[in-house]
Amino acid sequence: MVIGGADVALVRRPDIRFVLFGDEARLAAIVERFPRVKAASRVVHAEVVVRMDDKPSQALRAGRWKSSMWKAIEAVKAGEAQVCVSAGNTGALMAMSKFCLRTMAKIDRPAIAAIWPTMRGESVVLDVGATVGADAQQLIDFAVMGSAMARSLFGLERPSVGLLNVGVEEVKGLEDVKTAGKLLKEANLPHLDYQGFVEGDDIGKGTVDVVVTEGFSGNIALKTAEGTAKQIAGYLREAMSRSWLAKIGYVLAKGAFDSLRAKMDPRKVNGGVFLGLNGIVVKSHGGTDAEGFAAAVELAYEMARNDLTAKIAHELGMYHRASFVAETNARNAAGGEGIAPASDEGMS
């Protein structure tokens, strides 16, 4: 699936080059069947494979220096690759990524950002599983990072951002969510258009370009959406095969059904981006096929091409500097002292 996905991605992005980490003998035999991949890649032998049921701590202890996963991440740190794409154990990938690449300054926890198909196009949703529970500052960091990703992917100058909540009223929700909303509203960041609270149904509507939440609710929302898509597809298959008349109707409306199937195809939005690290790591769904893995590779390609890490670091720096200025001025207000806001040039 991985090599097949690389082959599909090369058809659409012929300038991609791959470094493939794994059992050299097994990989070489597969690569021989894909001439495009063979011409655009090199194989690096790895003695250890991180299993899907390995705990993150086990993966770090047992296979840190020898595993294909670690070596792929280390290639990003060393500058030998611009991005790492893996369909392996999510917990191990996150643990190794944090250990090897480290988080950006003032980022306590990274987030996993997913591309979400909506009625208006696509949105960025984060966090969908990296951080269970998040305080107000972490939610604000997620908003800044998600906005940078939306700018890179969608070409938006000032993406709209909403905080996922149980209602749109400012009095509703957890204290951390309400505090994050208040601070984002007051910050009035130049590259982020904060729209307030959004509810679960706003994700599919595409009400905002970036939906921010913590990993527990984000992961449940993601899995619920995937399950609902499969449920609807199952209902349609059952309805279309119920009678000869239904089958004839399906044939007549096949174009419309094909369009619906394409919009609901989770493979097209496969790939979660680890945000907040000093390097780009993309997690592909482990159960996808070549087409789905190709989508994760192409997402990684866009993130690298748009220098996502640098954009996130710059915009986080702008926010934290502005926040520092506001806090210092507030503390010194009684004494009549303060500091002037720094320019964009001083924040880069």
Q: What is the mean pLDDT of residues 164-173?
A: 86
Residue 298: exposed, middle, or buried by beta-carbon count in 10 A (0-12, 13-18, 19+)? buried
In a domain, 330, yes or no: no
- For residue 320, pLDDT beyond 70: yes
247 and 119 share one domain? yes
Q: How far apart are CA 276 and CA 148, in angstroms?
A: 11
Structural domain contains residue 311: no
Residue 58 sits in the same domain as residue 148: no
In-domain check, residue 10? yes
So what's the pLDDT on residue 327? 58
Residue 165 lies in a domain: yes
Range with the largest mean pLDDT of 45-49, 77-81, 131-135, 259-263: 77-81
The whole-number pLDDT of residue 347 equals 39
Q: Are residues 132 and 245 in the same domain?
A: yes
Per-residue pLDDT at 339 exceeds 60:
no
How many percent of the chain have pLDDT more than 90? 47
Supply the DSSP string of 175-223, one letter for each residue.
HHHHHHHHHHHHH--TT-EEEEEE-HHHHHHT-SSEEE--HHHHHHHHH
Express each pLDDT in 243-268 by its tens digit: 888 778 777 777 776 776 677 677 78
Mean pLDDT (the chain) is 86
Q: What is the mean pLDDT of residues 207-224?
A: 91
> CA 151 to CA 156: how far, in whole Å?
5
| Domain encompassing residue 213 | 102-264
Model confidence pLDDT, tens digit, residues 274-304: 999 999 999 998 888 999 999 999 999 998 9
Q: Is position 76 within any domain?
A: yes
Q: Is 96 a member of any domain?
A: yes
| 155-162 mean pLDDT | 92
What is residue 237's predicted lDDT score, i.e. its pLDDT? 79
Mean pLDDT calculated for residue range 160-187: 89
Is residue 344 predicted with pLDDT exceeding 60?
A: no
Of 212, 235, 264, the domain-final residue: 264
Is 225 in the same domain as 134?
yes
Residues 97 and 107 in one domain: no
Whether 271 maps to a domain, the answer reads no
Identify whether residues 247 and 114 lie together within a single domain: yes
Same domain, 90 and 59: yes
251 and 106, same structural domain?
yes
- Asked whether residue 93 falls in the same domain as residue 107, the answer is no
Indicate if 162 and 258 belong to the same structural domain.
Answer: yes
> How many domains are contained in the chain?
2
Q: What is the pLDDT of residue 109?
A: 84
pLDDT in tens, 93-120: 999 999 999 998 888 889 999 998 888 8
251 and 127 assigned to the same domain: yes
Residue 329 has pLDDT above 80, yes or no: no
Residues 26 and 8 placed together within one structural domain of the fold: yes
Residue 20 backbone phi and psi in degrees, to 5 = -105, 125
Residue 340 pLDDT > 70, yes or no? Answer: no
The verdict on residue 119 lying in a domain is: yes
Domain end marker among 234, 264, 294: 264
Half-sphere exposure of 29 (CA within 13 A, CB side): 3
CATH number of the structural domain spanning residue 290: 3.40.718.10
Res 282: pLDDT: 95
